[in-house]
Structure 1
Amino acid sequence: MLLASFALSGFDSIIKTMELGEAIEQIDSCTECDICLDVCQTYEVTRDKAFSPIGRLQAAKKVFQADDVTSEMVDGIFGCMSCQRCNLECPQEIDISRIVHKARGELLRRGVGPLETINRVIEQMQDLGNMVNGDPAKRWEWLPEEFPERESDTLLYMGCLPCYLVPQVAISSYLLLKRLGMDFMMLKDEGCCGNYLYHMGRGDIAREKFEENRERFKRLGIKKVITTCPGCQLSLSPDRKAQANGFEVLHLVQVLPDLLRERHECQNAKLPCILQASYQDPCELGRAGKGIYEEPREILSLCGVELVEMDENKERAACCGGILAVAFKDICTEVGTRFLEKVKPDNIITACPSCLLRLNYASKKRGKGKMGMYVSEVILDFLNCSQVN
């Protein structure tokens, strides 16, 4: 289903929608106090009002009123990271992120936007079952051992990025859960969650992917889904209610504290040299997700990591650049570079494969000398290097 046949429905029947009148009313309540400019990282990088929350609201109003919009306005709307930092700071409590998302959908209705990029991702999802142009036959090449197909009511849903672009996330998560004795299954023909297309305004396809996954999980008797990616977690549970899906969707960091305590792995370990690192709060795990802040810090502390908190952390954490990598790579890289400049230790730990990919890319590209690690990598290395009973 490409843009020519696009009819916007999105997660609108699942996630609360914003009516056109409400959107315009909220836009009109903006006093242009400029507070949002202080936290908008795309504005910080570009110094272009079109890439600011205020500029996006003004452009969105034109979109909703069917007025002409400039190419710069379109870029500004699609160049939003959906990080929701502006929402948090707006004194008028304008839901800027949701307004921008609605404007994207309206623009795509008109056939306006980064159509070539979005169509390419759609085709990859349809033809290959993933959004990163990965060969389906190689999806599980990262597996360190033969993993027989088996039945379980717990599914480890790995996601596109770990399987194809950041295999260290997949390998360490798989080995860690096995070591901690968790019973789980994986799907050899695992499909994409559709998260990127949802953010870019193609909620109709994202909803289709959600329905496909939900029906499949129900047929398999899945009661719990564990994801390595915050975006996958949100896309597989868009209504935020487990009972509506028939299964619970948890991020890896939510299941690890109990597993580590049950196995007494960390308590029985002799601490190796303590790693000093900053933990990066992924937007879709925290502020724009389910507000998960303490669990990753708890498990890292259990495993001897000395955390050096960033000045901006938890609900006010900065974004890595995220979804901009596909259509606005230069801006994304600069956002990531400036993020790295604010990190004091050389080590950064995250719980998001996309953040890991973007921050390591920015570090390599701009020579920042910082190293990003996924949370399961750190824990597994700790357990492997420790003497445990």
Structure 2
Amino acid sequence: MSHIQRSPAFPPGGYPSWPLSQPPCWRGFAGAPAPGLPAATAWWRPGDILAFDFANGRYMRDGETASLGAVLSASRTSPATWFTDAGILQPFDANVAAITDRGLYAGGQRVNKCRNFNANPTDLTGVSKAGDAAAMLTVVDDSAELAAAGLDGICTSGMAFKFDNSAGTSTSWLYIAGNSGNTNPHTMSVYMRSTGSARMVLSSSGGTGWMSSASYTRRSATVTPANSSQQIVIEVAAGKVVWFILNQLEEGSFASPPIVTDGGTGTTRLADAVTVPGFAALAASGSLQDGFAGKAILDVTRLTDPASRCIFDLGVATGDRVRLDILTDNRIELAIANGGSGPALQTAALAATGEVEIEWQVKSGASFIRIGGTTAAENSDSFTMPELADAHLGQSRSGASALNGPLGYLSLRRAV
């Protein structure tokens, strides 16, 4: 005889695992969790077929949690670096997407023209001094300070350059080999700490002001070289000492993430090519051809770069695609082309820089852009959607218009 007794409070049919009005929260549905279950863990919206939460390392494909490799393919045949939200600099191997809690960094090609060993120096290759004869230039162990600045993941040896002018009675100069090579705008940058006034200039072309920082701080300045032979010069006032690392001279109007040099003729960080594997099948199963919508969260801090910055490029060819771009004046543009023509929506220039939420809908007769939940542009033109054969993130399909900034979140869904 069984001695097991049914609790009178437990019905013969049992309770459902969750109320039928409340789907399971771990699948990403909105709403309150069932009684006794933990708080909802939803991070994508119902109806999304693809979602990238780069800042939190979470990904979804076709309604299911997915690995990074299932939703993203990265090609960049050179190593790279990128920052965390706390400013820690992290290394990434070739063909590994540069993703931290700041988001995905999709960068264009840049060349660091400096010819020293700028991350882990063992000698004075590519650096020299002039000025007060009492000034001393050496390579020293500065491990603690480099770690405190979040640079120890790149500067693994803990060694840095030290330019000691403490015994000097006049300004001394330190020259870093590597010329501009042309007179296009260049940006120089360096991590530096000092006991007093120091500055960085591009030979006779100008640079940063005199300043002092007890801890490693990245300083940068964009200048137009007076001639093609300009190089980075660090000036140190009499009686002062400066330590520096990760110096960089690159053609362009902003400082890209540090590029590690090896004492050669210049080191290239190749452009990122970030795509979605199997996008054509996903677009077909999700009926995106009938119209699609989505959301992106990204940093639109002005880079003063004279080129637009692409958030995504979906389609099959340059004349048959849908692109979302940040224009040079910080307007957002959603451009649809089929056979080389189609509507383009543009917002007003964004009022503020920093992180912004952008939503969009691409649908014949009912397209729009929303910024922070408010409609910023809309269009009622009819059009035929281009074939959605592939998806490029953070750059155009030609490899141009790199975002050169963090993309924290992006999702796609069928338009309603």
Name the TM-score, length of structure 1 as normaliser: 0.24
Structure with greater helix share of residues:
1
- Higher Rg: 2
